[in-house]
Chains A and B, each alone.
Chain A
């Protein structure tokens, strides 16, 4: 097993057609070691989201290779990619992270349920994860009954509950005020330090950057020095 959680070699992502190509990424090579907490920063349109999407297997790069843990994404079928996401990745987005009809604990359990984990173990692990993120009083709340910050914490708990190789977060604090963002970042840090989760987050927010140990600066789809 490699010591890298994520490796990308020379990935390019082109949108549009041949006559008017839009280069979202041009030759991005990146190594993220296991246990790192990395922020991807850069101006709007620089390709931050696209980079997270291709690493997360939500779309395929036009060229280049991505390895997550020891899985080479380019060799996976669509269905296998779904499994890679289920077992090896956690996702936290800006919004729409949770299933509205499920309670907090059920949302976290959902991942384990898809993985086929038994009922009892599932419940214990989900409650443990929620508790670790300060949500022990909100097990049975549905997303609609929680604040934005609480929802994002449920999203982290869900993302880390199955010990993924990497947690991908795209502007996770965009809808939070600075106080809540701080709290949220502390929990991300907690996940990183206490659980050893590798985290890759795209952000505009200097506050978030302050918590990460390494910044990757994207400009026009390329890593700036």
Chain B
């Protein structure tokens, strides 16, 4: 077998120009698939992040009817026992009180959502990486208002100014409260800036007279646990609605599935096309050496060994190309680093629910699939030239080669 290996290596080197081209083609394909794959995965990651960070969480526990009629009328009592949430697959969970509201400056009026947060528990929502000018919400008892930059501009207001917030109380009476703006935040997407105004959870409870929450967001250690945790929580909290992010955001959920699917299609299509070129190149490479193979068989080399020489040649080329291709891809992804800047199109993409950068994301499973698929393709591709070698009888090989 060492002999066969040595012969294979030397023959690869002998036909280095031809094999170099083959290698180059595979490297480009594998590298290309790798980069596209990581960008697609990055996009997917972005979609997921936006969907989950957006006050939703992987799983959301809601007061009954909250989905049909969002607001303060239906709430989860403060006294609820949350023992069910004490499990290892849950990273953290956080209660919030939210209500649709009308917000008024001296000049303008907008519809928004007012959210009472416990800032010490927002490590997994978009709240933790807000850039705040002025004073953020640092305590559930904070009584001032934190609003988004975009909203501030629309309301033509600013730090230190007052705003009036109007919302429907739990018993349908209107609640009108004055707030002072002590902080203005910038977030990754303007959607947050326009949609949410933030204050302390306890403070909002006091104002609204709701002794509880409208919902609890649960953040998991891994997306994969969602269904299991959801069904477990649903049975342990029969009085509450327990929904997954996918149920609450079917669009992103579909997108997630679609990208996962596309990634594999991409791999199959690319490598599939490649394999035809590969077979062609390998068959030609072998045909010019038919006489030589015939001679090997004449002097007593078993067909099995001759075939394995061809197969080994193919697999070596494939593996080499795979490694270089992955290396090149990795280098490229590293070079892209923290993303391709899409600011030029950012207005469009932000509205679409993405950040302004396209950040590559590496999924180990995809590498493995790409690697395994390449090797299998190499083996399949080697079948054809190998068959050519032993299909002819020894004498035919000597004559025709």
Contact A91 B395, beta carbon cutoff 8 Å = no
- Nearest-CB residue, chain B, relative to A59: B395
Minimum distance in angstroms from A58 CB to a CB of chain B:
5
Query: In the complex the two chains form, is B301's CB within 8 Å of A58's CB?
Result: no
With an 8 A cutoff between CB atoms, is A111 at the interface?
yes
Q: Is the CB of B292 within 8 A of A110?
A: no
A175 to chain B, nearest CB (A): 14
| CB within 8 Å of B: which A92-109 residues | 93, 96-102
- Measured in the bound complex, the distance between the Cα atoms of B300 and A86 in whole Å is 4
List of A residues within 8 angstroms of B102 by Cβ: none
Given contacts A79-B302, A93-B398, contact A100 B3 (CB under 8 A): no
- A87 neighbours in B (Cβ, 8 Å): 300
Q: CB within 8 Å of A: which of B89-120?
A: none
A114 at the interface (CB under 8 A from B): yes
Q: On chain A, which size bracket covers the interface?
A: 20 to 34
State in angstroms the CA–CA spacing of A91 and B296 once bound together.
11
Are A110 and B11 in touch, CB under 8 angstroms?
no
Query: Are A96 and B300 interface neighbours, CB within 8 A?
Result: no
| Contact partner, A101, options B7, B294, B297, Cβ 8 Å | B7
- CB atoms of B298 and A85 under 8 A apart: yes
One of A59, A91, A113 near B3 (C-beta < 8 A): A113
Whether B373 is near chain A, meaning CB under 8 Å from some CB there, is no
Whether A85 lies near B299 (C-beta < 8 A) is yes
Asked if A53 is at the interface (CB within 8 A of a chain B CB), the reply is yes
| A91-B299 in contact (CB<8A) | yes
* B17 is an interface residue with CB less than 8 A from chain A: no
Interface size class of B (residues with CB under 8 A): 20 to 34
Distance in Å: Cβ of A99 to nearest Cβ of chain B: 7
Judge whether A83 is part of the interface by a CB distance below 8 angstroms: yes
Q: How far is the CA of A166 from the CA of B173 in the complex (A)?
A: 113
B 291-316 contacts with A by CB, 8 A? 291-292, 294-303
Interface string of A157-168 (1 = CB under 8 A from B): 010000000000
Q: CB < 8 Å: which of A56, A91, A101, A158 contacts B14?
A: A101
Say yes or no for B268: interface residue by CB 8 A criterion: no
Residue pair A114, B301 in contact (C-beta under 8 Å): yes
Q: Could you say which residues of chain A place their CB within 8 Å of the CB of B394?
A: 58-59
A91 touches B298 (CB 8 A): yes
Q: Is B393 an interface residue (CB 8 A)?
A: yes
Known contacts A59-B393, A85-B300; A96/B398 CB under 8 A = yes
Kindly state the separation between the CA atoms of A86 and B297 in the bound complex, as whole angstroms: 9
Kindly provide the distance from the CB of A133 to the nearest chain B CB, expressed in whole angstroms.
17
User: Is B156 an interface position by the 8 A CB rule?
Assistant: no
Closest chain-B Cβ to A57's Cβ sits at a distance in Å of 9
Q: Give residues of chain B (264-283) contacting chain A, Cβ–Cβ below 8 Å.
A: none
* Contact status A58-B395, CB under 8 Å: yes
B401: which A residues are within 8 A, CB to CB?
96
Considering the complex of A and B, which 3 residue pairs feature the smallest CB-CB distances, nearest first? A86-B300, A101-B10, A85-B300
9 A-B pairs in the complex with CB atoms less than 8 angstroms apart: A53-B395, A58-B394, A82-B301, A82-B303, A83-B300, A96-B291, A96-B398, A101-B7, A111-B299
Given A82-B301, A86-B300, A111-B299, output 19 extra A-B contacts at Cβ < 8 Å: A58-B298, A59-B393, A82-B297, A82-B302, A85-B299, A85-B300, A86-B299, A87-B300, A93-B295, A96-B292, A96-B294, A98-B295, A99-B295, A99-B296, A101-B10, A101-B11, A102-B7, A111-B300, A113-B3
Binding site for B on A (CB under 8 A): 53, 56, 58-59, 79, 82-83, 85-87, 89, 91, 93, 96-102, 110-111, 113-114, 158
Q: Which residues of B does A touch, CB under 8 Å?
A: 3, 7, 10-11, 13-14, 291-292, 294-303, 393-395, 398, 401
